Structure 1
Amino acid sequence: MSDLITSPRMAGEDMPAGPADPIFNRLLKDRIIWLGEEVKDDMANRICAQMLMLAAEDPKSDIWLYINSPGGSITAGMAIYDTMQLIEPDVTTVGIGMCASMGQFLLSSGTKGKRFLTSHARVLMHQPSGGIGGTTTDVRINAELIMDMKKTLGELTAEQTGHTIEEIYRDNEYDHWFTAEEALEYGFVDKLVSTHETMNSDKE
């Protein structure tokens, strides 16, 4: 979580061209959302809008969120998290490649029992960080905000994984990398998937 806060943008402003590609639109028809970049406001706006659209179209069918992300803005990530909690459909999360920092948190935020990780993916957990500068007052305010977000994310991660808040604080004090097997054992996900058949067995 390299950035604590990013400047807000209007939905659709300066959005990258990639998600407008027919491939991404085709995935949406199958209720698949792709999170394959750093978590920033523009992509968070897009993913929140896609979730709301799919929930409105069919509130009973799962939404599939695929994640391959190095992390990013906490506030942008929390917008995605809050939308996941707000909508009626279950959100199935699938981690591939790397789920680091906010990517790890969103992976673990999927509906319990429906959080998957591919067998060669890696997961990184660490505590929130952010650049602090400016006046003494600015430094104090930013430090207080970081501590508040650390508490919030720690409590939510403890709930998601079944660990105590003390264990989460201990384990995220420094960069903590997990293999897929270790991530499963820690409680970030519910199952490892490696083939089309294992994925389809949970979709059906």
Structure 2
Amino acid sequence: MLLLMIFSKQNKFILSHVLTPKQSKIENCILFHFMPVGVPKVPFVVPGDEDASWIDLYNRLFQERLLFLGQEVNSEISNQLVGLMVYLSLEDKTKDLYLFINSPGGDVISGMAMFDAMHFVEAEVQTVCVGLAASMASLLLVGGEITKRLAFPHAMIHQPASSFQEGQTVECMLEANELLKMRETITQIYAQRTGKPSWQISKDMERDLFMSAEEAQAYGIVDMVADSV
């Protein structure tokens, strides 16, 4: 099977049609084999232009101040989201940003960078858990603007994990000390933003504590549970 896409001389889209191999020999047409679905493209009219351009779906949503964390937290996605938060806040600090989260967590340092950026920019950041918010992802969820944190199905918190490289004994001891400091910092963040005492947060972080959206709301991680969009 081939997908026939016909364009005019002005390169404007006219028609698409599925062709059999026998029908595929047509002049002045552009033929594309079916490919696995990737990030879809959507039409967008640039101010001042008459015709729409096809751009990446996420780039279009970024223009509406909608950000997405849909993978493990690492330095690459952290840098991208921090940059977007800073840029969009400078563009208009009066409009909220929306961070949609569906992540198993990941690197502590990268997660803390995003958390700090959320509180550095002047625009308020609303957080929305649309699937899983585990480990550092749950810290980002709880780090949203208070009264503007929303959850769909699941949220989870557990003790932070270090992603530093293994080294010699002295280096491991230094790493352990830094991890303890980071753990204390994260414990205090949860305590401040949930209203729970530090001892309870510390106890709960000793194990994987899975919560439903309603349980996360009762715990103070989110403020609302979404019924519909």
Which residue is equivalent to 2:157? 125
Give the Cα–Cα distance (whole angstroms) in 1 for the partners of residues 139 and 60 of structure 2: 26
Residues 116-137 of structure 1 deviation map (CA, whole Å, 9 limit, x = unaligned):
001xx21111111236733210
Match of 1:163 among 196, 220, 228: 196
Choose between structure 1 and 2 for higher RCO, CA contacts under 8 A separated by at least 6 residues: 1
Aligned counterparts of 1:130 and 1:58: Cα–Cα separation in 2: 36
- Partner Cα separation in structure 2 for residue 41 and residue 102 of structure 1: 13
1:29 corresponds to which of 51, 56, 63: 63
Deviation per residue, 1:17-52 (Å, 9 max, x gap): 969961001111111001100000000000001001
Other structure's SS at 1:151 match: helix
Deviation, structure 1 residue 55: 0.3
Residues 18 and 80 of structure 1, relative CA distance in 2, 3 Å threshold: farther
| Larger-gyration structure (1/2) | 2
Percent of aligned pairs with the same amino acid: 35
Instruction: Quote how far apart the aligned CAs of 1:191 are.
Output: 0.2
**1:150-200 C-alpha deviation (Å, 9 max, x unpaired):** 00000001001000110100111111111111101000000000212xxxx
TM-score (norm. length: structure 2) = 0.74
TM-score scaled to structure 1, two decimals?
0.83
1:156-195 equivalences in 2 (<5 Å): 156-195=189-228
- Counterparts of 1:1-204 in structure 2, within 5 Å, are 22-118=56-152, 121-130=153-162, 133-196=166-229
SS at match of 1:80: helix
Structure 2, unmatched stretches of 5+, are 1-37, 42-54
After superposition, give the CA deviation of every residue in 1:78-136 in whole Å (9 maximum; x if it has no partner): 11111111110110000011000001000000000000001xx2111111123673321
| Unpaired stretches in structure 1, ≥5 consecutive residues | 1-16, 197-204
Give, in angstroms, the shift of residue 71 of structure 1: 0.1
Aligned length: 178
Letter in 1 for 2:65: R
CA distance in 2 between partners of 1:137 and 1:179 (Å): 41
Any idea what the Cα deviations from partners look like across 1:51-89, whole Å, max 9, x if unmatched? 011101101000000000000011101111111111101
Structure with more strand by fraction: 2
Distance (Å, rounded) in 1 between the aligned partners of 2:40 and 2:172: 37
* 2:97/2:125 contact within 8 Å kept: yes
SS at match of 1:133: coil
Q: What amino acid does structure 2 have at the position aligned with 1:34?
A: F
